[in-house]
Amino acid sequence: MSGKAFPIRGRNEVIVVSSHAGRMAREFGLDARRAGELAIVVSELASNIVKHGIQGEIILTLDPDSPPYGEITVEAHDVGPPIRDLKLAMIDGNDDQGPIDPALYLRRGGIGTGLGAVARLADRLEYRDEEGGKTITARFYR
């Protein structure tokens, strides 16, 4: 098992980590579509770190021995405030406070569908509140 951590500071790191994830997935044997989906999930989680996380990192881990055929885990850890209402935040067009006014999309830097996309595309999604931060873990099975 080999984990690689990417500190996320801004949009550049988002692009770098997501393209790295896509490459990694193809090398791991995922098809182009699944690899693209992983890249999107990584990109969404990294964007969220930039927007809400204050400071954080993405850890990509390959585990070829995880049953049955191996998996890739994406851990997004940041030191930002916890997601107040996870169920609400997962609904498209919402953040954890409720619906987002479309007029604010751009000032907010998004359309509120990031977590929804992560949930749709990943095989498994876990959320964990921690002392001084939070971690979202998305898993992709091979």
Partner 1 sequence: MDQTEVPHVNVASSRLQSVIEALSYASVDEFDSCLALLQLSNEKDEFSELETAFSIFVRELGEAKSELNRALTQQEAANRELEAKLETIEMQQAAIRELSTPIIEVWQGVLCLPVVGVVDSQRSAEMTETLLETIVSKQARMAIVDITGIDVMDTKTADHFIKMARAVRLLGAECIVSGINPGIAQTLTHIGVDLTGVRTLRSLRDALQLYLRETEQLVVQQKSHFARRDSEI
Residues that bind partner 1 (CB under 8 A): 11-12, 15-16, 18-19, 22, 32-33, 36-37, 39-40, 43-44, 47, 51, 92, 105-106, 109-114, 116-117, 120-121
Of 79, 84, 10, 95, the closest CA to residue 50 belongs to: 10
Of 41, 19, 27, 46, the closest CA to residue 124 belongs to: 41
Q: Are 64 and 39 in contact (CB under 8 A)?
A: no
Task: Give 99-103's long-range contacts (Cβ < 8 A, gap of 24+).
Answer: none
Whichever of 120 and 142 has its CB closer to partner 1, that residue is: 120
Give me the least distance between CB of 19 and partner 1, in Å please: 7
Of 17, 22, 19, the closest CA to residue 6 belongs to: 17
Whichever of 62 and 122 has its CB closer to partner 1, that residue is: 122
Give me the least distance between CB of 79 and partner 1, in Å please: 20
* DSSP symbol at 81: P
Q: At what angle do helices 32-52 and 114-121 cross, to 10 degrees?
A: 150
Give me the least distance between CB of 30 and partner 1, in Å please: 11
Whichever of 31 and 129 has its CB closer to partner 1, that residue is: 31
Whichever of 68 and 106 has its CB closer to partner 1, that residue is: 106
Give me the least distance between CB of 119 and partner 1, in Å please: 10
Q: Are strands 124-130 and 133-141 parallel, antiparallel or unpaired?
A: antiparallel
Whichever of 1 and 32 has its CB closer to partner 1, that residue is: 32
Give me the least distance between CB of 131 and partner 1, in Å please: 28
